[in-house]
Structure 1
Amino acid sequence: MKLVVDANIPAAEHCFGAFGEVMTCPGREVGAAHLRDADALIIRSVTPVSAALLADSPVRFVGTCTIGTDHVDTHYLAEHGIAFASAPGCNADAVVDYVLASLLTLGERGGWTLLNRRVGIVGVGNVGGRLQTRLQALGVEVWACDPPRAEREGEAGFASLDTLIERCDVLCLHTPLVSTGKHATRHLLDAQRISALAPGTLVLNAGRGDCIDGLALRRRLTGQNDITAVLDVWESEPAIDAALHDLAALATPHIAGYSLDGKLRGSLMIHQALAAHLGQTSELTLEAICPPPALASLTLQQALPEEEALRLCTRAVYEVRRDHESLTREAHALGVAHGFDRCRAQYPLRREFSTLCVHLKGEAQPLAPVLRAAGFDVVAG
Structure 2
Amino acid sequence: MRILVDKDIPHIHRLFGLHNEITVCEGRVISAKDIRNIDILIVRSVTKVNQKLLDDDSIKFVGTATSGIDHIDQNYLKKYGINFVYAPGNNAIAVVEYVFAALFWLAERDRFFLRDKIIGIVGVGHIGSLLHERLHSFGIHTLLCDPPLAEKNISQYKQSWKSFEKLVSEADILTFHTPLIYDGNYPTWHMVDIDVLESLPSNCILINTSRGSVIDNNALLKVLENGKKLNVVLDVWETEPELSLPLLSYVDIGTAHIAGYTLESKTRSIIQIYNEYCKFFNIFNAVNLFELESSVIYYLKVQKKIDEMLLNKLIKFVYDIRCDDFLLRRFATVQGGFDKIRRCYLARREWSSLCVETYVDYNNEMLINLGISVCYI
TM-score by length of 1: 0.94
Deviation digits for residues 177-235 of structure 1, max 9, x if unmatched? Answer: 11110011111111111111110100000111111111111111111241111000111
Which residue is equivalent to 2:73? Answer: 73
CA shift, 1:374, in A, is 2.4
CA distance in 1, matches of 2:228, 2:15: 47
Which residue is equivalent to 2:302? Answer: 300
Asked if residue 219 in structure 1 is aligned to residue 222 in structure 2, the reply is yes
Which residue is equivalent to 2:339? Answer: 341
CA shift, 1:4, in A, is 0.3
Asked if residue 85 in structure 1 is aligned to residue 81 in structure 2, the reply is no
Deviation digits for residues 245-301 of structure 1, max 9, x if unmatched? Answer: 1111000000000001000111100111111111223254542223435x3322223
CA shift, 1:148, in A, is 0.5
Runs of 4+ in 1 over 6 A off after TM superposition: none
1:360 to 1:177, Cα distance in 2 relative to 1, 3 A: same
CA distance in 2, matches of 1:148, 1:142: 19
Which residue is equivalent to 1:111? Answer: 111
CA distance in 2, matches of 1:325, 1:186: 28
Tell me the SS of whatever aligns to 2:53: helix
CA shift, 1:51, in A, is 0.6
CA distance in 2, matches of 1:308, 1:372: 18
CA shift, 1:370, in A, is 3.4
Indicate conservation of the 8 Å contact 1:28/1:46, yes or no: yes
Indicate conservation of the 8 Å contact 2:263/2:294, yes or no: no
CA distance in 1, matches of 2:210, 2:200: 19
Tell me the SS of whatever aligns to 1:358: strand
1:267-278 paired onto structure 2 within 5 Å: 267-278=270-281
Which residue is equivalent to 1:207? Answer: 210
The structure richer in helix per residue is 1
How many equivalent pairs are there? 374
Structure 1 residue ranges without an equivalent (≥5)? none
Structure 2 residue ranges without an equivalent (≥5)? none
Asked if residue 241 in structure 1 is aligned to residue 237 in structure 2, the reply is no
Instruction: Using the aligned pairs only, state the percent identity.
Output: 37
Which residue is equivalent to 1:368? Answer: 364
CA distance in 2, matches of 1:195, 1:225: 8
Which residue is equivalent to 2:15? Answer: 15
Indicate conservation of the 8 Å contact 1:120/1:170, yes or no: yes
CA distance in 1, matches of 2:286, 2:147: 39
Which residue is equivalent to 2:351? Answer: 353
Aligned residues: CA RMSD: 1.6
Which residue is equivalent to 2:265? Answer: 262
TM-score by length of 2: 0.95
Tell me the SS of whatever aligns to 2:332: helix
Which residue is equivalent to 2:329? Answer: 328
CA distance in 1, matches of 2:21, 2:286: 20
CA shift, 1:242, in A, is 1.5
Tell me the SS of whatever aligns to 1:90: coil
1:297 to 1:94, Cα distance in 2 relative to 1, 3 A: same
